[in-house]
């Protein structure tokens, strides 16, 4: 016997039985092999992983904060007109930040060092120093959002 939807009266949509009681087994169980596989796997220690991530984050923040002192010295040296000191600090900062994995800061610090080493280029060195400060700010902001 067909009903209006074209299916036999005892069959519901998608080939399911028409009655709800017939569609549900009396007891739901997982096959034994699936359960035993999950039981054999141990879950990671979330507390230990969180502590490790926190320690790593603290180490990153300290290394970024460590880069600020040479930038402050560079600003002071540029204010004093000591461009050889700016160039020296820029080279050192470039090397330190490269080793710490901050490529953007490293590149901009090297640009500052190159600009400061050029004679009669105070304007170019100051512009590069401002860009270095901006690059440093973006680096600290990207890591601060992880807190």
Question: What's the pLDDT tens digit per position in 96-131?
Answer: 999 888 899 999 999 999 999 999 999 999 999 999
24: CB partners within 8 A, 6+ apart: none
How confident is the prediction for the chain on average, in pLDDT? 78
Q: Shortest CA distance to 67 belongs to which of 147, 133, 146?
A: 133
**Residue 97 within any structural domain of the chain:** yes
Angstrom CA distances, 29 to 19, 20, 26, 34, 40, stand at 21, 18, 10, 11, 18
**% of the chain at pLDDT higher than 70:** 67
- pLDDT on residue 28: 56
pLDDT band at 139 (very low <50, low <70, confident <90, very high): confident
pTM for the model: 0.58
**Residue 12 within any structural domain of the chain:** no
**Residue 30 within any structural domain of the chain:** no
**Residue 99 within any structural domain of the chain:** yes
**Residue 46 within any structural domain of the chain:** no
Tally of structural domains, the chain: 1
**Residue 67 within any structural domain of the chain:** yes
**Residue 16 within any structural domain of the chain:** no
For tokens 């569609």, what's the residue? Answer: 23
**Residue 64 within any structural domain of the chain:** yes
Q: Phi and psi for 16 in degrees, rounded to 5?
A: -80, 150
List the domain range (segments joined by +) for residue 92: 53-144
Assign 16 to helix, strand or coil: coil
């Amino acid at each position: 016997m067909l009903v209006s939807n074209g299916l036999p009266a005892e069959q519901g949509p998608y080939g399911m039985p028409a009655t709800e009681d017939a569609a549900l087994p009396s007891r739901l169980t997982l096959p034994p092999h699936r359960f035993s596989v999950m039981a054999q796997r141990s879950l990671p220690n979330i507390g230990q992983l969180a502590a490790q991530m926190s320690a790593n984050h603290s180490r990153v923040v300290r290394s970024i904060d460590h880069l600020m002192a040479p930038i402050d010295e560079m600003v002071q040296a540029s204010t004093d007109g000591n461009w050889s000191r700016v160039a020296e600090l820029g080279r050192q900062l470039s090397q330190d930040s490269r080793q710490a994995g901050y490529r953007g800061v490293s590149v901009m610090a090297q640009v500052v060092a190159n600009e400061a080493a050029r004679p009669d280029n105070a304007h170019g060195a100051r512009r590069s120093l401002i860009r270095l400060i901006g690059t440093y700010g973006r680096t600290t902001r990207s890591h601060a959002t992880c807190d």
